Amino acid sequence: MANDYISDALIRRLPSYYRHLRELEAEGIEQISSKELGERMHQTPSQVRQDINCFGGVGRQGYGYHVPELKKRVGEILGLDHEHRMIIIGAGSIGSAVARYPSFSNEGFRTIALFDNRPEAIGRQIGDLTVQSTENLERFLDENLVDIAVLAVPKHAAQEVMDRLLAKQVAAVWNFAPTDLQYDPQRCTVVNVHLSDSLHILSYRMAQP
C-alpha cells in the first residue's frame, strides 16, 4: 500500500492538501496542474508531483489532476472516509468550542458525549448533548464504541483522566491539556494541541528582526 512510504514531513502536509483540494472543489475547479496546486500551497510543482505519487492510485492526465479524485484519495489516506465517534472530557471553554465546531461533524467526527466533574457544568446543554458527570466515563466506555477521546481538562487533572481512558483501551486521544501525557505509544495514539506553545512561537517570531 502506498501509505507505507509516506514520510513524517508528508504526513504533516496531508491535511493541507486536503484543505486546498476541498477549497478547489468548492470553487468548482475540476482539474489542477501541479504548478497551480503548488502555488496555492507554497510548494514547488516537483514537490507536489512527488507527494501525489506517494499517495498511489491517482492518475495524472495531460491537464493535471482530477480534483475530486485526488481529494477522495487524500481523504482515504487521512481516514476521513469513515465516521469517528468522539467523546469530550472537560466541558469548559475549549471542550465546548470543540463540541460546537461545525466542520468536525461535517467531516464525520461526531461527538457522542461530553463529560465534566464540576457540578455547575453537569446537566448543561451543548448543542444536542447534555454534559454528564465524569463518574459515568467508565460505564459509557463499556457500553459505547468510542474512537477518539478529546481531553480538555485542566493540566492537573489530565494524567488521571488519561489513565482512566487507557484502562478502558481508548486508542486515540486529542489532547488540549497543556502537559505531556504519559502513555504507551503502542497502545494509544496521541496528538496534542498545545495552544500556549503556538502562542509562544508567535511571540518568539515577533521578537526576531
Residues that bind a second copy (CB under 8 A): 3, 11-12, 14-16, 18-20, 23, 40-42, 77-80, 84, 93-94, 96-98, 100-101, 103-104, 107, 109, 147-148, 171-172, 174, 178-180, 189, 191, 193-208
Rounded Cα distance, 51 and 49, in Å: 6
Which is closer to a second copy, CB of 18 or CB of 65?
A: 18
Which is closer to a second copy, CB of 103 or CB of 125?
A: 103
We find the least distance from the C-beta atom of residue 140 to a second copy, in angstroms, to be: 20
Task: Give the residue from 149, 152, 111 showing the smallest Cα distance to 129.
Answer: 111
- Scanning the chain, the segments in alpha helix (DSSP H) are 8-26, 34-41, 45-55, 67-77, 93-100, 102-106, 137-143, 155-167, 195-207
Three cell numbers written together for 22 = 476541498
Which is closer to a second copy, CB of 47 or CB of 60?
A: 47
Rounded Cα distance, 123 and 162, in Å: 23
Which is closer to a second copy, CB of 145 or CB of 206?
A: 206
We find the least distance from the C-beta atom of residue 46 to a second copy, in angstroms, to be: 20
